[in-house]
A and B are shown apart, each in its own frame.
Chain A
Amino acid sequence: MNMLTRRLLIAATATFALAGHASAQDKSIVVASTTSTQDSGLFGHILPMFKAKTGIDVKVVAQGTGQALDTARRGDADVVFVHAKPAEEKFLSEGFGVKRYPVMYNDFVLIGPKADPAGIKGSTDIVAALGAIKAKGADFISRGDKSGTHQAEINLWKVAGVDVAKDKGPWYKEIGQGMGAALNTASASNAYVLADRGTWLSFKNRGDLVIAVEGDKRLFNQYGVMLVNPEKHPSVKKDLGQQLIDWLVSAEGQKAIADYKINGEQLFYPNANDSGA
């Protein structure tokens, strides 16, 4: 960074420091979460209820799970609400989180073109389906962004005995973008793609895409919430953040999650009582 830019930043920062401090005293928290919770409309449904009850403004920064955890590691969020249990446990063991609470689950679905070039439509065996996609060289879009969905996809390939890092050919395209962008790409190129059911249900630009595989236990998708550790980052708003977590796992919060539906279909299933989730 050159001198000019630095001076500029300092000048501009000084100009706005007052405004920044004013807004820091508002009753608000920053939640780093995933694109699926935002794009599916869940937050738009439940957060107004939380605000009505507590007066706390929840500012959601929607990123992939990997990026959301990194944002929290830097101290730029008060709460993380994501879906990749191994990555969440790593975050906890590094001391960045206080405690992980299971909140809800839904499932992943394998989306593909109506024409079904891999011949897997209607199957409930995700591992066999991925094997068929690889064998036929059918186009597959990968998030490629370390999101929860991407991590789940990589695990499923592993179970299917395919080392995508090594075996990927021109049929396997990593786009490095969010769920919606991956669905847009799959829709435009008639490819298969792994998606969370919530985003799929609320997604509008489907083109010829349909659900190819669903209902396999291995497609389970658990969401967890954690307060960022105030001992690592003193700026974390401990009390306000914990209020959100307590509400999410309370009977009221769990009911709000269960009540969120698109076209009569429930998107997320609360399971805060399942301590092993």
Chain B
Amino acid sequence: MPTDATALQLVLSGDPALFAIVRLSLYISLSAVVLAALIGIPLGASIALTKFRGRQGVIVLLNALMGLPPVVVGLAVYLMLSRSGPLGAFGLLFTPCAMIVAQTVLVTPIIAALTRQTVEDLWLEYRDELTAMNLGPVGRVTALIWDARFSLVTALLAGFGRAAAEVGAIIIVGGNIEGFTRTMTTAIALETSKGDLPLAVGLGLVLIAIVIAVNALAWTARRAGERMAG
């Protein structure tokens, strides 16, 4: 990015480097949310509907993991993916894949914990009907996830917010490599360290605008879905 430009000029002039960074940020954070949803929603719903020893402890742990420090997750994933680490042979460190892995670890507990709460509330409400329908455990989980699908949008958005906002994990595992692993948040950190505070603030505003746009899209989709579902 030319450093003598403001962020607004970069946006208005359609700066290709800026758009590549925006695209990478969205690709990484949305991929992490999709992966985290595939793991977190079934996991959260299963915990909501299953009785087992130590369940209260698992719920407390899951809720606590929503506060996982990104820099710690980044360090752990770094040590796993480093050439000297157990998964080093894949050569994933300093790639977008490593960044998706780190953000997936961060986002999964958020989606799982919020799903657990949502599904458990629904379960308490519809327990009798579902019991009468004589569904197996998998059928109950599926039915309740389907019933909760509109509420779960909020869980996904919470996860996306976490992923889009964090810098601590992806700067460690991605390395902030220009044109390859540089995202909005790591670019903001870099411009701050170069002392180009106006550009850093401008990029921050662009990032906030993107997060708002994604949320607006998700909300519109939810409303449309609710209307269609009657």
Contacts and interface: CB of A to CB of B under 8 A. Distances in A.
Nearest to A228: B83
A229 B196 CA distance: 37
Interface in A5-27: 5, 8-13, 15-17, 19-21, 23-24
A211 to B, nearest CB: 15
B91 A16 contact: no
A35 B82 CA distance: 21
Consensus secondary structure, chain A interface:
helix
Interface string A234-268: 01000000000000000000000000000000000
Interface of A: 1, 5, 8-13, 15-17, 19-21, 23-24, 30, 35, 39, 41, 44, 57, 59-62, 74-76, 177-181, 183-184, 187, 202-206, 233, 235
Given A15-B35, A75-B83, A180 B194 contact: yes
Contacts of A233: 83
Contacts of A202: 194
A62 B83 CA distance: 18
29 contacts: A5-B76, A5-B105, A8-B104, A8-B108, A11-B39, A15-B35, A16-B100, A16-B101, A20-B92, A21-B90, A24-B91, A44-B178, A57-B180, A59-B175, A59-B181, A75-B84, A75-B88, A76-B82, A76-B84, A179-B193, A180-B194, A180-B195, A184-B193, A187-B195, A202-B194, A204-B3, A205-B196, A233-B83, A235-B91
Given A13-B81, A23-B95, A187-B195, 19 more contacts: A1-B80, A8-B39, A8-B105, A9-B80, A9-B105, A12-B100, A13-B90, A15-B35, A17-B92, A20-B90, A41-B3, A59-B175, A60-B178, A61-B175, A74-B82, A180-B193, A180-B195, A233-B83, A235-B91
